[in-house]
Structure 1
Amino acid sequence: MAEYPTIDSELLRTFVAIADQGGFTRAAEALNRTQSAVSMQMKRLEEDVVKRSLFQRVGRQLELTPEGQVLLSYARRILKLQGEIISTLREPHMVGSIKVGTPDDYVMRFLPSILARFAQSYPMIQVELHCEPSYQLLQRKDLDLTIVTRKPGTEIGQLLRQEKLVWAQAKGFALHEQPSLPLAMFNSDCFCREWACNALETMGRDYRLAYTSPSLSAIMAVVGAGLAVTAQLESLIPAGMEIIGSELGLPLMPSASIVLLRNNLAQTPITECLAEYIADGFSL
């Protein structure tokens, strides 16, 4: 059987730190080592292991050579795989699946970074996402963790964050100037829609429900096209839209609560671990 040369993972870790930090000094600080120790490690990596120059000076900048670029890609993959192996072997119970329910409101805004960090630490756990409106999710009994939106005073479970409901329209449009304000809102069981309509009726502002959908992406597509105004949680308003309010004659809106519910019949180390990641992700 052929024998292949090996590379010490600590050498790779130091190499990646230099590439990420842009120099030996900052890498040494990040790794809590002396600069001379870092330099010696890279000398060993270049001269004894790969036998190639990995860094070059361009002016005052330290840059990777073409060979260094190739090694960096492999080094990241090797270190990631090592982390996955250690996590799996040290915590063999963290293998399995988990069902998470959430309105699609939060899928694009919060879930990608949460699930990316969770997958990096626990790659053997399968996450099954169920995207439905809050009122439907509250009726389900088969979910392990559920994220829902609640009115203030009706919170149950763990409070993740509270946010204002705000009005939004596409930039460059003036739909608020129309005699009858066109709205794009969730379907009839959404209390945010109820709040928006009640607030407009209280101030005597004429409106019409021009578009309704259970999908936030569908609502935002309509609003982004300049066809309607919507009222949503502030963090869900994308960059291509502008928040509008009382300065344009629209009523102020209350705040809503985002909460996390646990299924008491399905509590495991997996559910508690993901619950912590979700709580951290929504606090950012």
Structure 2
Amino acid sequence: MAHYPSIDTELLRSFVAIADLGGFTRAAEAVNRTQSAISMQMKRLEEDVLQRSLFQRDGRQVRLTAEGQVLLGYARRILKLHGEVFNTLREPHMVGSVRIGTPDDYVMRFMPGILARFAQAYPLVQVELHCEPSFQLLQRQDLDLTIVTREPGKEIGQLLRQERFVWAEAIGFSPHEQTPMPLAMFNADCFCRAWACNALDAMEREYRIAYTSPSLSAIFAVVSAGLAVTAQLQSLITPDMRIIGEAEGLPTLPQTSIVLLRNQHSQSQVSETLAEHIVEGFRL
């Protein structure tokens, strides 16, 4: 295997600063070194390590050569990986595992950002995600954190968000004009489905439950195909759908609450820290 000289990350850090700030003077201030020290670093990088010219100097202006542009991409990646190694191995803020329960509704909309930010901050924590309807999650005792949907006045735990339910159908389709109107809803145990049906019954609007599923993605697949109307949280409606309501002869639906429950028997620093990320993520 070929042997190559090593590149000090401090050389790369100074090199990136010069490229980003356009000169040695400002780069020296950014990395807390003197201009002469920065110049000596770059001389070493060009002449001793890489044996390539990295800069084109035009008075006080500094531009990267073609070789310098190539190095810049690698330097950014090396420094990023260098930081990740230290965050993961040298300073692992927390280790352990945490079990979350959440309805399928919130996985696509809220959880990706929450979990990405948590993983970046605490890469050694193992997260176990369980997706089930709210009524099933409320019966489980083995979860550390649980996100559920609750009716107004029946909130328990910490309130994450309050949001209105809305009717929606695919853009370019009008299943609401059919009689009876086809609906795509969650299974019968979902109180939100009961809300929608009771509201339609109260105004004597004919409808039929044409499609049911515990999966939001399955319901949205049906709706996106123009086969049915659904009722979901407003923030979950995708760009290929449009919100409909009174103008289309549909009743206004109530507001619901999303809450976070903590298992008092399995509280830990890991679960509480993730809880804080969840609270913040539902505010976005």
Range class of TM-score, shorter chain: 0.7 to 0.9
User: Helix, strand or coil for the counterpart of 1:239?
Assistant: coil
Supply the distance in 2 between the matched residues of 1:195 and 1:69 (Cα, whole angstroms).
Answer: 55
Is 2:199–2:251's contact at 8 Å kept on the other side of the alignment? Answer: yes
CA drift of 1:103 comes to 0.6
DSSP 3-state at the match of 1:227? coil
User: 1:93-104 residue pairs with structure 2 within 5 A?
Assistant: 94-104=94-104
Q: Partner residue of 1:48?
A: 44
Is the CA contact 2:18–2:27 (under 8 Å) kept in the aligned structure 1?
A: no
- Greater CA drift, 39-48 or 121-130: 39-48
Counterpart residue type for residue 89 of structure 2:
I
Counterpart-to-counterpart distance in 1, 2:55 and 2:219: 50
2:75 counterpart residue number: 71
1:82 aligns with 2:86: yes
Aligned residue in 2 for 1:261: 261
Alignment partner of 1:153: what SS?
coil
Give the match's secondary structure for 1:154. coil
Residues 11, 42 of structure 2: 8 Å contact kept: no
Q: Which amino acid is the alignment partner of residue 80 of structure 1?
A: E
Q: Which runs of no fewer than 5 residues in structure 1 stay unpaired?
A: 26-32
- The DSSP-based 3-state class of the residue aligned with 2:282 is helix
Indicate conservation of the 8 Å contact 1:118/1:274, yes or no: yes
Shift of 1:95: 1.2
Opposite residue 24 of structure 1, the aligned amino acid is L
Query: Where do 5+ consecutive residues of structure 2 fail to align?
Result: 58-62
Q: What displacement does 1:110 show? A: 0.8
1-structure distance, mates of 2:107, 2:85: 27
The Cα shift of 1:14 comes to 8.2
Q: TM-score, normalised by structure 2?
A: 0.84
Query: Using the alignment, how far apart are the partners of 1:266 and 1:13 within structure 2?
Result: 47
User: Aligned ranges for residues 216-231 of structure 1 at < 5 Å?
Assistant: 216-231=216-231
Equivalence for 1:24: 21
| 8 Å CA contact 1:102, 1:134 repeated in 2 | yes
Q: Does 1:38 align with 2:39?
A: no
Q: Look up the match of 2:170.
A: 170
Q: 1:174 to 1:83 in 2, by over 3 A?
A: same
Give the secondary structure class of the aligned counterpart of 1:247.
helix
1:167 to partner: Cα distance: 0.7
Aligned with 2:128: secondary structure? strand
Question: How do 1:169-248 and structure 2 match up within 5 A?
Answer: 169-248=169-248
- What's the counterpart of residue 7 of structure 1? 8
Cα offset, 1:85, TM superposition: 2.8
Partner of 2:112: 112
CA-atom RMSD, angstroms?
3.0
Q: Deviations over 1:246-279 (max 9, x none)?
A: 1211111111111000000001111101000111
- Give 1:87's aligned amino acid: E
Supply the AA of the counterpart residue of 1:83.
N
The answer on whether the counterparts of 1:137 and 1:148 sit within 8 Å (CA) in structure 2 is yes
> CA shift at 1:67, angstroms?
2.2
TM-score, structure 1 as length reference: 0.84
Label 1:45 to 1:225 Cα distance change in 2 as closer, same or farther (>3 A).
farther
Deviation of 1:78 after TM superposition, in Å, equals: 1.6
Deviation, 1:70, is 2.2
Distance in 2 (alpha carbons) for counterparts of 1:187 and 1:142: 24
1:192 maps to amino acid: C
Can you list the C-alpha shifts for 1:51-74, whole angstroms capped at 9, x where unaligned? 4566889xxxx8871221222222
Structure (1 or 2) with the larger CA radius of gyration: 2
Q: What secondary structure, in the 3-state scheme, does the structure 2 residue paired with 1:108 have? A: helix
- Among all aligned residue pairs of Structure 1 and Structure 2, give the percentage whose two residues are the same amino acid: 56
Number of aligned residue pairs: give it. Answer: 267
Counterpart CA distance in 1 for 2:161 and 2:40 is: 50
- What is the CA distance between 1:206 and its match in structure 2? 0.7
Secondary structure of the 1:184 match is strand
Change (3 A) 1:230 1:13: farther
